[in-house]
Amino acid sequence: MMPNSKRGSMFASIFTAVGRRAGHLLVEAVQGAYTRHVERAQMRLAPLKFRSWSEIPRAGAHHDCW
């Protein structure tokens, strides 16, 4: 058995935990940036003035003969 084998495994487990945390933080940052991008894109496509359902004409309403 090597005298420093325990120390090597301890450092490996610490670096593994640090690597997982860094990876998790990176994924969270990318996910947050993507969410902000999608929200901005949706706001660009949103109508400028809100219209209620009563203001929106029905499909085929111009064919009503009542």
Other Cβ atoms within 10 Å of 6 Cβ, number: 10
Q: What is the CA radius of gyration of the chain?
A: 29
Dist CA 44 CA 28 (whole Å): 24
The mean pLDDT of 22-33, rounded to a whole number, is 94
**Whole-number percent of the chain with pLDDT over 90:** 26
Q: According to the model, what pLDDT value does residue 1 have?
A: 45
pLDDT at 47 over 80: no
The mean pLDDT of 10-38, rounded to a whole number, is 89
- Helix, strand, coil share (%) of the chain residues, nearest 5: 70, 0, 30
The mean pLDDT of 16-37, rounded to a whole number, is 92
Q: According to the model, what pLDDT value does residue 54 have?
A: 75
Q: According to the model, what pLDDT value does residue 25 have?
A: 93
